[in-house]
Amino acid sequence: MSDVRKALVTGATGYIGGRLVPRLLDAGIQVRVLVRNPDKLRDVPWADRVEVAEGDLGDVDSLRAATEGIDVLYYLVHSMGGKGDFEQIERESAQNVADAAAASGVKRIVYLGGLHPEQGELSPHLRSRVEVGRILLDSGVPTAALQAGVVIGSGSTSFEMIRHLTEVLPYMPAPKWVRNHIQPIAVRDVLHYLIGSADLPESVNRTFDIGGPDVLRYGQMMNGYALEAGLKQRPIAALPVLTPWLASQWVNLVTPIPRALAMPIIASLQFDCVTHEHDIRDFVPDPEGGLTPYRRAVRLALGKMKAGEVETSWQDGFVEGAASDPLPSDPDWAGHTVYLDIKKRETDASAEALWTVIEGIGGQNGWYSFPLAWAVRGWMDKLVGGVGLRRGRRSATRLNTGDALDFWRVEQIDRGSFLRLRAEMRVPGRAWLEMRATPAEGGGSVYDQRAIFFPRGLGGRLYWFAILPFHGVIFNGMANRITATALASTEPAPRLDSEESGRTS
């Protein structure tokens, strides 16, 4: 990237963008990131190494400011949802970026789109990606539109879908598309091509198919995962009655992938998805050692997961239908109807010990109260297309701003003292859960817990009062067990007297 001095990355909080940014920085490139909410970058390890431009793809003025002085622009934004006219929104966003890049003298655009068949009707998701690529190619700015299929890496949506389907089901009733041919690519190879494409000659303005060295059926990919994970290969029966819609419901129920994400992925698998050319090799040499075979990509992804080193995840993205606005600083004065459930406990545990329990909540540690009730609520959310509880958490001990946490998302964290979670389950309104650890005078600490709900219409109000009896059990239990767990972690182990020691030695 000898000629590139400054890059603008859109989609820096997403799966690919969050991995690309630190690699550009390590290559000596100055990076500016365009984000709607800078708070999402508070806890990423490279936050203090980038310039942050606050803006939106729909805001022309913010795009003009963000593209000023930029050599290469990475377009890594794409909606996975299907609500409303998302294709029109995608077209407008791409056109805004194209116009801003041309006006600012950007030297190159690099876009990551979707691998697709040359013939046949495309799904709305793929059709939109093709259209975005066309708009950028027609922008007057030299553009490299990379087209990738299934991306394999720790935390990728495609990998997580394969992983959970294979691990959960000993026998796989599957749609007929499990027989289709797919050319997966390791996320490390996608990043290699993205970085290399920034230095393409000015005359290059075209699409490039990118894929790994293996062409497999989807069923072979699932069984390849099984072998790498130490599982038995799964018998797979292709059933023509499983339409994309039915298959997305199935994936929604048996994996953490919500229906809104599963549907576009499944729709894109209805045809063979393989590269038709590999011309990128003429401009960007393959990585040292060659492209990553599928089984090795799975092995690397599993290794990252076991080591707790998942760099970015599909969970980092926006979830369709979930409220994304932060809690107003004063909800009452913001004109909302507000329902609160407040709990307070004093404990002899230190504030540090209490905070450790708070930051470790969710995932494998659970929610410290009535596990069956939480599980039922998670399944209810799954049944209506929500994310459910199985999203888990990326790290067992640390939370960062923007992290997914079961069916919550970390909206604010003041490490050591305060955590605010925003609900992403399907509810008739907007909900938050706050937990605070405060040192108490004379020792010990105080635990404050607050559940906040903004109801939407009559249904929201009826919902709140219907679950009030459960709140009495769940939220009281949470407060009691969180403080008890914190206290137990600080109490010294009981000492054995000499007689007891003799009996047990």
The reply to whether 24 falls in a domain is yes
Q: Same domain, yes or no, for 297 and 348?
A: no
Q: Same domain, yes or no, for 344 and 233?
A: no
pLDDT at 334 over 90: no
| CA-based nearest residue to 421, from 458, 367, 461 | 367
The reply to whether 497 falls in a domain is no
What's the whole-number mean pLDDT along residues 471-483? 91
What's the whole-number mean pLDDT along residues 103-127? 89
The reply to whether 47 falls in a domain is yes
Listed residues 316, 348, 383: the one ending a domain = 316
Q: Same domain, yes or no, for 290 and 371?
A: no
pLDDT score for 360: 95
pLDDT at 397 over 90: no
pLDDT band at 502 (very low <50, low <70, confident <90, very high): very low
Which amino acid, residue 447? Y
Are the beta carbons of 480 and 345 closer than 8 angstroms?
yes
Q: If DSSP states are collapsed to H, E and C, what string results for 364-422?
A: HHCCCCCHHHHHHHHHHHHHCCCCCCCCCCCCCCCCCCCCEECCEEEEEEECCCEEEEE
pLDDT band at 499 (very low <50, low <70, confident <90, very high): very low
Q: Same domain, yes or no, for 370 and 293?
A: no
Q: What is the CATH number of the domain that holds 271?
A: 3.40.50.720
The helix/strand/coil state of 105 is coil
pLDDT at 335 over 70: no
The tokens for 176 are: 């007929």
The reply to whether 329 falls in a domain is no
Question: Of 35-39, 265-269, 454-458, where does mean pLDDT reach its minimum?
Answer: 265-269
pLDDT score for 501: 40
Rounded to the nearest integer, the mean pLDDT of the chain is 86
Report d(CA 491, CA 487) in Å as an integer.
6
Q: Same domain, yes or no, for 350 and 303?
A: no
pLDDT score for 503: 40
The reply to whether 502 falls in a domain is no
Burial class (CB in 10 A: 0-12, 13-18, 19+), 6: middle
Q: Same domain, yes or no, for 285 and 370?
A: no
What's the whole-number mean pLDDT along residues 365-374? 87
% pLDDT > 70, the chain: 89
What's the whole-number mean pLDDT along residues 452-460? 89
Q: Same domain, yes or no, for 97 and 184?
A: yes
Q: Which helix (H) or strand (E) holds 297?
A: helix 294-306
pLDDT score for 336: 63
What's the whole-number mean pLDDT along residues 170-199? 88
pLDDT at 272 over 90: no
Are the beta carbons of 91 and 132 closer than 8 angstroms?
yes
Q: Same domain, yes or no, for 184 and 226?
A: yes
Listed residues 282, 316, 350: the one ending a domain = 316
Q: Same domain, yes or no, for 255 and 132?
A: yes
Q: Same domain, yes or no, for 293 and 360?
A: no
The reply to whether 192 falls in a domain is yes
What's the whole-number mean pLDDT along residues 318-324? 49
Tell me the CA distances in angstroms from 443 to 143, 346, 479, 482, one per residue in order: 62, 10, 19, 18
What's CA 181's distance to the chain center, in Å?
A: 26
The reply to whether 154 falls in a domain is yes
pLDDT at 495 over 80: no
Q: What is the CATH number of the domain that holds 456?
A: 3.30.530.20
- Angle 244-254/259-267 helices, nearest 10 degrees? 140
pLDDT score for 317: 61
Taking only the tens place, the pLDDT of each residue in 413-446 is 999 999 999 998 888 999 999 999 999 998 999 9
Q: Same domain, yes or no, for 152 and 297?
A: yes
Q: Specify the pTM.
A: 0.78
The reply to whether 429 falls in a domain is yes
Of residues 337 and 173, the one with the higher pLDDT is: 337
What lies within 8 Å, CB to CB, of 466 at 6+ separation is: none
Report d(CA 360, CA 150) in Å as an integer.
32
Are the beta carbons of 487 and 377 closer than 8 angstroms?
no
Taking only the tens place, the pLDDT of each residue in 9-57 is 999 988 999 999 999 999 999 999 999 888 888 888 899 999 999 999 9
Question: In which domain, by residue range, is 451 found?
Answer: 339-490
Q: Same domain, yes or no, for 213 and 276?
A: yes
Domain count, the chain: 2
What's the whole-number mean pLDDT along residues 190-195? 97
